[in-house]
Amino acid sequence: MLIIDGKKVSLDLKNELKESVDNYKAQTGKVPGLTVIIVGKDPASQVYVRNKAKTCKEIGMISMVIEMPADTTEEHLLNTIKDLNNDPAVHGILVQQPLPKQIDEFAVTLAIDPSKDVDGFHPENLGRLVMGHLDKCFVSCTPYGILELLGRYNIETKGKHCVVVGRSNIVGKPMANLMLQKLEATNCTVTICHSATKNIPFYTQQADILIAAIGKAGFITADMVKPGAVVIDVGINRIEDASTKNGYRLVGDVDYEGVSAVASAMTPVPGGVGPMTIAMLLKNTLQSFQRTNGL
């Protein structure tokens, strides 16, 4: 079985991005800038934001993190976004989710200038993706990272049956729509399963490419997978494990041990889809910089 190594691909990609950033800096004197806003102190979000800022600096981009207290008003957040929309040094704006209850996430998504929406959450970007205008939008980072992995591993996709389990706006919906497009690493027949789907194994057993984005540890078991399928695991679930330092470990939505005996290729957790997400965020930020500077 082929292990699809997202850690390695993300390192390659970050090196490529660094080279581009260095070249543009020499050419124009400018560098791409990413601003991340975090509201409150959710521990998982703090880790994600720290990693985003660190990787951003590693590849030579300007990183700004705006930390706001948990009781921040929606109005204050929207005003801050407005200022960032008008700041020419800011090429990417990302508001870390989840947000506190008093703030409407959709209002925040709508407030971000689509040309700086490196998360790809704005309806204009998602709509362009659905219509196949990938060169004129931002694709949300996790699905984009999966596309990159399929491409770099030369996974055959044309005419294959791709089953996406999960229908979130961040992963399931953009993922399914991407796989439907007539592109090199896509062009699939697509089925989407979700929490109300009756008999999920009936569908997953027919998948040539199975993408699991459910959020439940070990949900996809070997009996649900067609022999030879390519299995992409988007899940990052904490399960208790007294033998580790933190008392927990991370597992995916796929029962790795069981499914690896059936699949032809698979992404591990950790080290599969996860590391690709930040790399694609920086790729989107570079793309925003290129578009605004006509590069």
Q: What's the angle, vertex CA 93, arms to CA 87 and CA 97, rounded to 5? A: 145
The catalytic residue positions are 52, 96, 119
Taking the complex as a whole, how short is the minimal distance between the CB of residue 272 and ligand GUN, in angstroms? 16
Query: Which residue spans within 155-277 are E strands per DSSP?
Result: 161-165, 189-193, 209-212, 230-233, 237-240, 248-251, 265-266
| Cα–Cα distance for residue pair 181/186, rounded to 1 Å | 6
Number of H helices, E strands in the chain: 10, 11
- Using CB under 6 A as the binding rule, whether residue 141 contacts ligand GUN is answered as yes
Report, in Å, the least distance between residue 44 CB and ligand GUN: 8
Mask for 194-223, x = binds ligand GUN (CB under 6 A): ------------------------------
Cβ proximity to ligand GUN: between 170 and 286 the closer is: 170
Structural contact between residues 185 and 155, judged by C-beta atoms closer than 8 angstroms: yes
Distance CA 278, CA 293 (A): 23
Record the tokens describing residue 289, joined without a space: 């910089």
How many CA atoms are closer than 13 Å to the CA of 162, on its beta-carbon side? 28
- 80 or 96, CB closer to ligand GUN? 96
Report, in Å, the least distance between residue 42 CB and ligand GUN: 9
Binding status of residue 186 toward ligand GUN by CB under 6 A: no
Position among 34, 81, 95, 178 found at the interface with ligand GUN (CB under 6 A) = 95
Q: Which helix (H) or strand (E) holds 179?
A: helix 172-180
Q: How many CB atoms lie within 10 A of CB 164?
A: 31
Short-list 292, 9, 289, 291, CA closest to 149: 9
- DSSP letter assigned to residue 287: H
CB of 37 to ligand GUN, least distance (A): 9
> Is residue 119 at the binding interface for ligand GUN, with CB under 6 A as the rule?
yes
The residue whose Cβ lies closest to ligand GUN is 97
- Specify the stretch interacting with ligand GUN by CB under 6 A; choose among 4-12, 22-30, 88-96, 260-268: 88-96
The piece of 22-30, 91-99, 109-117, 238-246 that touches ligand GUN (CB under 6 A) is: 91-99
Q: Is 94 in the site for ligand GUN (CB under 6 A)?
A: yes
Shortest spacing between CB 58 and ligand GUN, in angstroms: 19
CA-wise closest residue to 256 among 10, 4, 48: 4
Nearer of residues 96 and 125 to ligand GUN, judged by Cβ: 96
Which residues of this chain interact with ligand GUN, rule CB under 6 A? 94-97, 119, 141, 170
